[in-house]
Structure 1
Amino acid sequence: MSEDTFRSVEIERTSMGQYVVRNARGGSMSMGTGEDGSFTPVELLLAAIGGCTAVDVDLITSRRAEPTRFAVEVTGDKIRDEAGGNRMRNLKVEFTVTFPAGDDGDRAREALPRSLQQSHDRLCTVSRTVESGTPISIVEAGSSRED
């Protein structure tokens, strides 16, 4: 893959059920099982879905006016389906955005529905990947014995 398309994160175990996630730019965050304040993998999935569209919408609408409020709530139900596997359903991304009064705010309000649709239909890599059901390969790179 080319350098322009490749994305990656590294996950390192810090203790039982606790991990640190790192990106190539040096950012890090904690992830865990939900026993403490760390984000769970499902919460990170919800954040990625909402965050991807939030970035798209913010970049489009903020060119017209700076929002006075910009909040996104992402919800869903974690279920065990008929095949006995866990998955999410009823995923919903809800935006609450307020722009100031005036012509610039009016232009931003007018652009909001279109930017939400554009993000959903073609811009947001995360939600488009989830909706298309892209296969995931799980491979073992190898294990070793510490002597």
Structure 2
Amino acid sequence: MSEDTLRSVQIERTSVGRYVVRNARGGEMSMGTGEDETFTPVELLLAALGGCTAVDVDLVTSRRAEPTRFAVTVSGDKIRDPEAGNRMRNLTVTFSVAFPAGADGDRARAALPRSLRQSHDRLCTVSRTVELGTPVSLVDASDPGPAEPR
């Protein structure tokens, strides 16, 4: 493949339970344990699920008409499963979109159901990855610390 497929972020600890997430383009956001206003990792997962489809749908429908409302709610239940481990279930992405009256708004409304289906079934990398159950590898590249004297 000639295109660059690697995507990555860096996460740096700023204090106990607080982190800053940075992307290669210089963007950053705070992440934490949920004891303050920062997003938790689970909330970021929910945001990624909804955001991925929101981008797909927005790019298609807004070519036809600028929405008068475009809101996405993503929810799910965080469960503690003693056998399979902690996880989310009942993930739901709910769109509430409105377009102006007229021919352009009608074209955008007509494009909405198909763009939602295409994003879910084929385009959204985040939901496709979650639904297909892609394995995650953990690598420990920690500094081993000073060598013990012999």
Whether these two folds match at TM > 0.5 is yes
In structure 2, give the amino acid aligned to 1:127: S
Q: 1:100 to 1:11 in 2, by over 3 A?
A: same
Distance 1:15 1:145 in 2: 21
Residue in 1 that maps onto 2:19: 19
CA distance in 1, matches of 2:110, 2:57: 12
| TM superposition outliers: structure 1 runs of 4+ over 3 Å | none
Equivalent position SS for 1:143? coil
Shift of 1:81: 1.9
Looking at structure 1, the residues matched to 29 and 12 of structure 2 have their Cα atoms a distance apart, in angstroms, of: 11
- Report the secondary structure of 1:72's partner residue: strand
2:74 is equivalent to residue 74 of structure 1: yes
Q: Counterpart of 1:87? A: 87
What percentage of aligned pairs have identical amino acids?
79
How much has 1:144 moved relative to structure 2? 3.8
Q: Root-mean-square deviation (CA), in Å?
A: 1.6
* One-letter identity of the residue aligned with 2:57: V
Give the superposition deviation at 1:82.
4.5
Which amino acid in structure 2 is aligned with residue 9 of structure 1?
V
* Partner deviation per Cα, 1:74-126 (whole Å, 9 max, x = no partner): 00000012505100000000000000000000000000000000000110000
Amino acid at match of 2:47: A
Return the offset for 1:145.
2.8
Higher Cα Rg, which structure: 2
Is it true that 1:122 corresponds to 2:122 in the alignment?
A: yes
Q: What are the Cα deviations for residues 7-39 of structure 1, in whole angstroms up to 9, with x where unaligned?
A: 000000000000000000000000000010000
TM-score (norm 1): 0.95
**1:1-147 alignment runs, 5 A limit:** 4-83=4-83, 85-145=85-145
Q: Distance in 2 between matches of 1:130 and 1:96?
A: 23
| Residues 16 and 82 of structure 1, relative CA distance in 2, 3 Å threshold | closer
Task: State the distance in 1 between where 2:128 and 2:77 align.
Answer: 19
Q: Which runs of 5+ in 1 are unaligned?
A: none
